A and B are shown apart, each in its own frame.
Chain A
């Protein structure tokens, strides 16, 4: 049975798209068939992060409006052949998404894939609510700072009320993914600690992605970090998160970039 997973956060710029790409790629690398769906109509980015921006012909809005078939809009990843992208339209806005259209597309995708990962736009309006509408589970991406945490809390409330599952009396499984975490700054009290965030949001932790230059580098070359540099700390964090998502019991650790650590060490010695 296909799993519909929404990656959401409320606040913008916390790493939803990066995480969608990384989780999608890691799941595909683990042998699952995966489609990542960009719901950020008008401000699409997932195609760039996936390195497929030059191959977009049709998009989600075309499929919803019946101008194209789903098969025409889906773009297969060139590196992993079980990974697919359904891009958003850049020239339209969120009003082009209809509830019925989204329901139909998601139902069709569920027939074809093991995982349907919806990349939610920021905010709590139409785009975000439609992205979460049919979700079985949700990954809430949160940065360890107060505004991001409060926005995530708001989104959790919406997941408990506005999703199809919640309206039928069920519960969307919620997983917290803390991104851009810097253990040093947290220790110095410059950002919230993992426990602070967990205490406020009270949902299970899926993983902690450390602040890493590798993430930006991966985005710039159009490759999910789990493919671009699988040994980087961020990639290992996403791979662990995916194993937990699939029900494996993986001890919670915060991966660090060994090389950077050594550089720091030597740097300090030289100084």
Chain B
């Protein structure tokens, strides 16, 4: 058996006090875009308001009557949510910020809006040791090098036009068709859809070569690019 994590994009509603006015604003908005929330996963962020357990249940029910189904709640103490309410979510990230650091501050540059819309992330500067670039929404292209001790995690394929010395993890959200391309392979680890190979079990003749890696069934293949 294999358990895999998967990330999805959800809409986040952040109610503000007073709730009654906020619901009225929401109604006014949905009148203009009828059916906008139908069938879409919605998360309720309660960090901006202070609500009792009953008030939360009431709010969820109110939203239900407007055809807004809440898949999870965040920004609230677990003790305030009973089993009848949607589960608590934690660690959510704003989808617009595709580059997430390991450390509290962002070491990598923000992606340009244009690159995001295209479902790909273009990094024009080198990825430095210790930086972690996470982009679950598509391909990542790095024009410079990826340093030893750095990692790129992409939902799609990874393209590195410099030297790949760190780790590249493609197809991280369960995409076996993702590939890794690099101009010069010195990688510490390559992974596609959870299957990986470390530097030690890569063919020595591929070192310092332009390569691509892909999955064939459950085997990762690496071949020179020419």
Contacts and interface: CB of A to CB of B under 8 A. Distances in A.
B165 A157 contact: no
Contacts of B148: 146, 150, 153
Contact of A202 (B105, B126, B129): B126
A161 B165 contact: no
Interface residues of A, number: 15
B212 to A, nearest CB: 22
B107 A153 contact: no
Contact of A161 (B105, B126, B129, B144): B105
A162 B125 contact: no
A157 B128 CA distance: 5
B112 to A, nearest CB: 14
B147 A150 contact: yes
B189 to A, nearest CB: 15
B103 to A, nearest CB: 8
A200 interface: yes
A151 B147 CA distance: 10
B61 to A, nearest CB: 44
A150 B129 contact: yes
Contacts of B126: 202
A160 B165 contact: no
A61 B137 CA distance: 47
Interface in A133-182: 146, 150-151, 153-154, 156-158, 160-162
B82 to A, nearest CB: 42
Contact of A154 (B106, B128, B144, B145): B128
Interface of B: 101, 105-108, 125-126, 128-131, 144-145, 147-150, 163, 165
21 contacts: A124-B130, A146-B148, A150-B147, A150-B148, A151-B129, A153-B149, A153-B150, A154-B129, A154-B130, A156-B128, A157-B107, A157-B130, A158-B107, A158-B130, A160-B107, A161-B105, A161-B107, A162-B107, A199-B163, A200-B165, A202-B144
**Interchain residue pairs A-B with the least CB separation, the first 9:** A157-B128, A161-B107, A153-B129, A154-B129, A154-B130, A153-B147, A157-B107, A153-B128, A157-B131
